[in-house]
Amino acid sequence: MKPRKRSIIYFLSGLLIGVLIITGIALKKADGSGNAVEMSSDGRPQYRWYAPELPTAIDFAGEPAPLDKWEVKEKLDRELLVNSYLHGSQLYILKLAGRYFPAIEERLKANGIPDDFKYVCVAESSLNQNALSGPGAASFWQFMKDSGPGYGLEVNDEVDERFNVVKATDAACKYFQAAHDKFGTWTAAAAAYNCGVTGYANQSDFQQATNYYDLIFPDETNRYVYRVLALKYILSHPKAFGLELSSSEEYRPLKYRTVTVDKTIDNLTEFAKANGSSYKMLKIYNPWLRAHKLTVKNGKKYDIAFPNQ
């Protein structure tokens, strides 16, 4: 073996051992032995994973989850187990939260909706503005194409305000308030966002109970509020789950200027260039524009965002 190759192999071997040692120190063992990484008989690392510690108390919008009930505790435990080891996904959500949470929080507050509902948005879309479900639910709050207009969103081939984080959050707030008015709790309002107001009412009437934690639903809704609680706990205490992210690493809200239009735009590329930008940036800053043109009806106006120059 040539000396240069031997040196490279020694360097890489030393680097691997160093990484394993650092990882073993960083990953604390619950039983105190300090060996989070062990070497198997064939020399390969064997990682050891542990269940996250459950909180002693947790609430949604100020409404405590009854963790003294074993089935409630186990359901929360399941969602913490499932979500706490999705490190890449959770780090990406934390980065996106730096961009989108300020706007979502502002609109929730303006509409009188508790701040915890921002975690419902995380549960729905992971803050991915381009999230699309099989049935056709779209963007941040996963409104269906047919239901969006009922909450004030314009949805057609050229304009889809489900992709506008501010307007979509306002629409979601209307849903939450109506559900809260009907069922009396914010927890029920969150669950109803998953199964529908009618779906929640049907289960409540049949089971002769109104409290989410006293009801049983189809599996998705059964898990829904617990997933929201788990996401709240993880994202509110990221370091406890090994998620190291400084504020400088978060994505920042986009800074923009707006151009108000009241006439049809036949070619959005030409429009973007006339405003000192490009079609690519136009789409990034205005994901609600869904076609190559924008038809503006009489009396209608649109505010189109462009990067600050």
Whether 40 and 68 share a structural domain:
no
Identify whether 192 is part of a domain.
Answer: yes
Whether 169 and 235 share a structural domain:
yes
pLDDT tens per residue across span 87-142 = 999 999 999 999 999 999 999 999 999 999 999 999 999 999 999 998 999 999 99
Q: Of 209, 232, 249, which residue constitutes the final position of a domain?
A: 249
Q: How far apart are CA 37 and CA 47, in angstroms?
A: 5
Other CB atoms within a 10 A radius of the CB of residue 20 amount to 16
Report the pLDDT value the prediction gives residue 14, as an integer from 0 to 100: 52
Whether 173 and 268 share a structural domain:
no
Number of domains making up the chain: 3
Overall average pLDDT of the 51-58 stretch: 95
| Lookup result for tokens 């009618």 | 198
Q: Is the pLDDT of residue 39 over 80?
A: no
| Mean pLDDT of all residues belonging to the chain | 90
Whether 177 and 264 share a structural domain:
no
Identify whether 52 is part of a domain.
Answer: no
Whether 244 and 262 share a structural domain:
no
Q: How far apart are CA 302 and CA 46, in angstroms?
A: 57
Identify whether 218 is part of a domain.
Answer: yes
Percent of the chain predicted with pLDDT > 70: 88
Whether 170 and 223 share a structural domain:
yes
The model carries a pTM of 0.86
Q: Of 231, 249, 267, which residue constitutes the final position of a domain?
A: 249
Report the pLDDT value the prediction gives residue 306, as an integer from 0 to 100: 98
Whether 128 and 184 share a structural domain:
yes
Whether 65 and 159 share a structural domain:
yes
- pLDDT band for position 42 (50/70/90)? confident
**Residue 97, domain extent:** 59-249
Q: Of 249, 275, 298, which residue constitutes the final position of a domain?
A: 249
Q: Name the nearest CA neighbour of 198 among 212, 182, 211.
A: 182
Whether 16 and 130 share a structural domain:
no
Whether 156 and 267 share a structural domain:
no
Identify whether 124 is part of a domain.
Answer: yes
Q: Which amino acid is at 298?
A: N
Identify whether 227 is part of a domain.
Answer: yes
Q: How far is CA 248 from CA 91, 128, 129, in A?
A: 13, 20, 22
The CATH number covering residue 210 comes to 1.10.530.10
Identify whether 289 is part of a domain.
Answer: yes
- pLDDT band for position 287 (50/70/90)? very high
Report the pLDDT value the prediction gives residue 27, as an integer from 0 to 100: 47
Identify whether 216 is part of a domain.
Answer: yes
Q: Name the nearest CA neighbour of 112 among 209, 181, 191.
A: 181
Expressed in angstroms, the distance from the first to the final Cα of the chain is 58
What distance lies between CA 14 and its chain's CA centroid? 39
Identify whether 200 is part of a domain.
Answer: yes
Report the pLDDT value the prediction gives residue 309, as an integer from 0 to 100: 65
Whether 118 and 64 share a structural domain:
yes
